[in-house]
Amino acid sequence: MHDDDETMPPARRRWDPVVKLTHWAVVGAVLANALLTEEGSATHVWIGYALAAVLALRLLWGFVGPAEARFSAFLPNPARALAHVREIRAGGHTRHASHNPLGALMVYAIWSCLGVVIASGIAMAGLPGAVRAERHEPAVATAQVGGEREEEGEKDGRKDREGEEEGGLGEVHEAAVNLLYLLIVLHIAGVVFETRRSGRDVVLAMLPGRG
Amino acid sequence: MKHHHATLQRRAALLAVVVVLQAIAALFFVLDLFGDVIADGMGQHLAIEGAAVVALVVAVFGGALQIRALVLATRADEAAVAMARGAAAELVRLRFAQWKLTRAEADVALFALKGCDIAEIARLRGAAAGTVRAQLARVYAKAGVGSHAALLGSFLEDLIVAETPAPAGLE
């Protein structure tokens, strides 16, 4: 229905520079924090903040961007996703100017996952200002997290505050990250599959220079 | 040949880089501000900082809208050029058929339309300049024009509508 919306660009799939940049910035941030930075280090945290900003910009773009970048072009719809699967099985082929219905679900899954990773990360690291304040006068930060620390404090004896704080949130952060890795693998598998089914445009559309 | 939409596209991409950096900066400042307010309470300095943060966020918004305008302008430009190209090709095909140009004459006429002079056409076709000059003369005769400029004009006349074109889009 909205695949042939008259505001959609014709025929070939294409993404605007904001979609591309935010996509690759997320890739860069996830790779950097997965492979390069030390967990919990300042760099890790700052990359996390940058990731949050990039995700926020992409979500803003979901309201103001061109037609195919907007949420309205790829609302999550399991029924359509199922129909899409049936179509693939039947060998049919509809062109989608935005994400295909299955891809759309993946997009929301990855965004939600990133959201949880970011939220738990910021909850652990604190606001940049708060972190600074904490360094100057530990009492402020201690008061903030005092509540949860009571229960968590006993079972985790290592290193005082840092270790204890990480307990529950750290597990959420880690679980969400692992889920994110799984989603990324599925996403790449989906792109490979779709590329073999409908051609190189799927990949080319996300590469620079075809705005 | 450089196309206008390629320029627009580059501008959109550049602006996107700027806006992404701005968004990152904005988030840092927002978080920093929250942290400061939590730590020290709201003061005059933080109020001003808050106003600056709001301005930055508004700038991100404005930048996003500007990119959208550029992206849409790029696409409109591409579509217009593609349409004009199709229309021009169709018109050329039609006229050449009406004028009953031979294959060689049609070839020469097409080069002439693209702005090649006799020497260039001769080089491109591997023919003598004299031959090309004669072929071009027959094209002019069949088309009922007296010069290269008049030949171009006869096509433009059909492609351009007499009304003044609207000033093209964005500043």
Question: Residues A40-58: what's their mean pLDDT?
Answer: 92
Taking the CA of residue B68 and the nearest CA in chain A, the distance in Å comes to: 6
Q: Do A49 and B72 touch (CB under 8 A)?
A: no
CB contacts of A130 in chain B (<8 Å) are 34-35, 38-39
Confidence of residue A148 (pLDDT cuts 50, 70, 90): very low
Mean pLDDT of chain A: 79
Cβ within 8 Å, pair A65-B64: yes
A147, pLDDT greater than 50: no
Spell out which residues of chain A touch residue B59, defining contact as CB-CB under 8 Å.
none
pTM above 0.90, yes or no: no
Closest chain B CA to residue A62: B64
Q: Is B152 exposed, middle or buried (0-12, 13-18, 19+ CB in 10 A)?
A: middle
Of B76, B82, B85, B80, nearest to B8 (Cα)? Answer: B76
Task: Kindly determine whether residue B26 and residue A21, on different chains, have CB atoms separated by under 8 Å.
Answer: no
How confident is the model over B103-160, as pLDDT tens digits? 999 999 999 988 888 899 999 989 899 999 999 999 999 998 988 888 888 888 877 7
The DSSP-derived string for chain A is -GGG-TTSPPSS----HHHHHHHHHHHHHHHIIIIISPTTSHHHHHHHHHHHHHHHHHHHHHHHS-GGGSGGGS---HHHHHHHHHHHHHT-----SS--HHHHHHHHHHHHHHHHHHHHHHHHH--HHHHHHHHH-HHHHHHHHHHHHHHHHHH--SSSHHHHHHHHHHHHHHHHHHHHHHHHHHHHHHHHHHHHHH-THHHHTTSTT--
- CB pair distance less than 8 Å for A64 and B68: yes
Q: Is the pLDDT of residue A13 over 80?
A: no
Q: Where are the domains of chain A?
A: 12-204
CATH of the structural domain A12-204, one choice from 1.20.950, 1.10.3470, 3.30.2010, 1.10.3680: 1.20.950
ipTM > 0.90, yes or no: no
Cβ contact, residue pair A126, B35, below 8 Å: yes
Contacts with A61 from chain B: Cβ below 8 Å: 64
